[in-house]
Structure 1
Amino acid sequence: MYKNINDLLKNSESHNIILLFGEDEFAREEAQNLLIKKFVATEDDKFNFDIFDGEDAKLNQIIDLCRSYPMMTERRVVLVKRFDKLFLGRTSKKIETSSPVANYLESPSETTVLILTASIDGVKDVFKTFNSSSKDAYQKKVGSIKFPYNKIISKYCWMEFPRVYESEYPKWVESRLKSFGKTIDHNALEILVSRTKQTLRDLSNEVDKLVLATEGVSNISLKDVSFLTGSTREYTVFELQKAIAERNIAKAVMIMNKILAVDRQEMLMIAIYSKFFTNLLKICDDFRVGMPPNSMSSKLGISPYQFNDYSLALKKYSPDEIEFALLAICETDLKMKSSNSDGLMVMQNMLFEIMEKKYENPSLL
């Protein structure tokens, strides 16, 4: 039982069954990905890693795999998403005492790490009760939970992810930024939360963008947030990045004009797009040989959501065109630093140079 994901990661090697549950789907998924990243680090690990979805998986198949020995590594890792879907409806006494899962919970394999994620109806505040001074209250709480969660919670490792309410979003964003070594001004925080769609996933994406755009800056100001969120949510540097990835030059020029009319931060835009095309160059060969998107996003150290723009661009730009784009960005950087040219005109020319089609079928080259 852990409150903090970092504590769980530090001690995860000692657990062979880990249950992640609660109403916060985003945090559950994030914890799941961190655990997989730790346990599945090499090609041999990947060979012994299996994923099931409780919506369509068979329980016997999962248990049989958990009981099988790994090949070429010391352990097998099995992830079961939406584990709760395997136990819809009422459970009988027979299932609780003699089913495959009951038997496995009595004697799990020492060479398998079984990671389960679930949203369990009616089950919440388990950690709060566990952390209270009343052991009787905790035992009563666990006793009220249906099989197999009661067995798992009483005997094995678990972490609960309670719902984060909208009133708690500012505190959540501050904590998130703190993990990146950053602070944020109060007014900037209010603007960020008010202009973002009200889900943790959306807030997390905005935080990731802020961290990327304020590299080397420890405190985020209202100016930083206003530049990234734009005068409306439509016109941001990341909407411009998406238009560039789509190779939609009319849309890209329109968004750039809107952004620069509000705040002339050409150098920040150059830095962001330089990093974007540099990352594209790092994975263009991986894309051509069919590497899964999750593996490529992991290689770049970005979230799967952020990878959407990369996936679009890899289909629109050839490796040569990516290199040409980096050259155009570099030349634009020099022009902005060494001349008194019209910044808007220089930036527009950069867009035309990057997005001008140079090959008929770049995705096939």
Structure 2
Amino acid sequence: MPSLRSFAATDRFITEIADPATLRPGYVLIGDEIFLYDRCRRAVLSTLIPPDTRDFSLHDIDLAETSIFEALDRAQTPSLMAPFQVLFLRNLKTLYGRGSKKEEFAAIDTYFRSPNPQALILFVADHLRIPTDLRKMDYQDKERFERIRETLGDWCGIIELARVDESDAIKWVTTTAESRNIRFDPDAARELVDSLGADMMLISSEFEKLLLYVSAPAPAAPNNAVILSGAHSAQPKDPEESNSATALPSFQPPVSTEAPQTPPLARNRVTLGDVETMVLAAKQRSLYELTDAISAKDRPRALLLLHGLLNASDGGEDAAIGHLYMLARTFRQMLIISEKNVRDPRAIWQVLWQGFRMPPFAAEDLIKQARRYKSRRELTRAIRLVARADLELRSSPANKLLVLERLILDLSTEPKPTLYKPSHQFAMEL
């Protein structure tokens, strides 16, 4: 795999621990990129810890439950069961909480002045978020990062687990697939990375699923056209011959004259359609494109996107209720964004609760779509239209496609102003 800038820190770490001459007594894995952390951890286990001694040489310690004094004492004490020890110390933020922590850092300095050569300490600082561009790091995270560097940088190697750049993620997808003899189309790789917000943990999971999908052999078509030879002898010629106890059976087993069919080979190629079919976030992208056309009142594009969404669905029109659910959910999100007057994508996580948030790639687009609606009444009207279409679909209509097309046309049309007519009747919507 070619060297990628986003993987440079982990590549350097893997190279250092492989050579006893460059191995340092401690490292700080700083950042919340889980994919890169797992990459470092797997390298440590495969390089420094044999599988048969892993139970005695690997220690996962939570500093919120175990004091740093006890952890350092365990690292300083040689093990009788394993020649080398590795200690992962989590919750490093407890050392930088309230109080000066002078005794704790004094103990750390004392240990690293004379460390155990048969032990490796790995501090895990996953409470910091390091963006791809360090200039965009949050001010508070930057202060914490500098404090860790000042206190541990003299003794430990600092390994930055920053967010992976989108271009590097795309290259990782294509090159990793090529190493497994599978072609990953560039537009498919770009769609996979973009739809998952360059989250490498999600990308790697969906990547494995896609490779299994395209590398599995396709099911063989059933062969019903079987030509039988000797079929004329399957029925006895003489009725008396069949009643004779000594007559030999004249039935011959059917023999196929066609060559046996072998199952088709796997495609070993991932296309854009495969990503749109298998990855949920890519399906959601098509939905947000549909709501974008609806909010822009672009009726022709909205109808085209609707048909494309139905054609890409496994259930076709039968999945219409699921699409209506996502439409209603999206309009509810836009309603909250409009009511809270959200302008910055980072503020979305404050107004939308866990489980009701959109994918990261859609945050900015959804804010733009919500601002196209002039009032709360327009958004509530859209939600009512979706609810009415949902009721029609659950009533088993003759044509589900017509119901969906009418809904899209209604949503993409400017509401007509209604004159106020006084009435003595009141209705309450539930």
TM-score (ref. length: structure 1): 0.49
Q: Hey, which of these two has a bigger chunk of helix by percent? A: 1
TM-score (ref. length: structure 2): 0.43
